[in-house]
Amino acid sequence: MKIYLIGMPGSGKTTLGRQLAEELLLLFVDLDKEIERQEGKSISQIFAEQGEDYFRQVESRLLTEWASSTKGFVMATGGGAPCFYNGMDTILKTGFSIFLDVPVSELLARLDRKTDRPLLHAADAAERREKITTMSHVRQPIYATANVTIHNADLPALLKAIHLKN
């Protein structure tokens, strides 16, 4: 079984993905960590030194590789992974996808000024709100094609969605 968690930065993909994998006795894959391992540098360094286009190419390649592997896993994708190079098609064709839908106000509360997410670096709170709001509007239609959408998900809600699927 391949389970993909998708959603905005701060929606809890990494945190809940790790918990879910442990609960289901599945391998946990964090796509950002895979990229960092492959490139030997942090996400922020890759953005700064090679740029976003390069990052998206590596992200897409690793998503495709995992998607076509014979392994089962819970994957915490990066927030942009479904939204570039037909990532959402790859996800839909190969596994069960869950959109962690969290309101912008909550994302803002979780992602403070020191976030290591380069796309969200901002001069002040107003600029950060603007960036997250715009990103959310653009991505929402793609995220919404997931097999299941869960609002403000926690571990029990994720487990329920997976048991209902079976």
Ligand X SMILES: Nc1ncnc2c1ncn2[C@@H]1O[C@H](COP(=O)(O)OP(=O)(O)O)[C@@H](O)[C@H]1O
Ligand Y SMILES: O=C(O)C1=C[C@@H](OP(=O)(O)O)[C@@H](O)[C@H](O)C1
Which residues make up the interface to Mg ion (CB under 5 A)?
Answer: 13-14
CB 13, min distance to Mg ion, A: 5
Please spell the DSSP secondary structure of 59-106, one letter per residue.
Answer: HHHHHHHHHTSS--EEEE--TTGGGSTTHHHHHHHHSEEEEEE--HHH
Adjacent-strand bridge partners of 74: 3, 28
Please spell the DSSP secondary structure of 98-137, one letter per residue.
Answer: EEEE--HHHHHHHS-TT---GGG--SSHHHHHHHHHHHHH
Does 113 count as an annotated binding residue? no
Q: Specify the DSSP element, H or E, that contains 1.
A: none
CB nearer to ligand X: pick between 26 and 31: 31
80 binds ligand X (CB under 6 A): no
Instruction: Indicate the SS3 state at residue 155.
Output: helix
Does 18 count as an annotated binding residue? no
Stretch that binds ligand X, among 8-16, 60-68, 89-97, 119-127 (CB under 6 A): 8-16
CB 90, min distance to ligand X, A: 19
Q: Site for ligand Y (CB under 6 A): how many residues?
A: 11
- Contacted by 6, from Mg ion, ligand Y, ligand X, none: CB < 5 to 8 Å by type: none
Contacts of 93 (CB under 8 A, 6+ apart): 67
CB nearer to ligand Y: pick between 72 and 118: 118
Read off the tokens for 89.
Answer: 């098609």
Contact set with ligand X (CB under 6 A): 7, 9-15, 76, 110, 154
| Annotation: binding site for substrate | 32, 56, 79, 139
| Annotation: binding site for Mg(2+) | 14
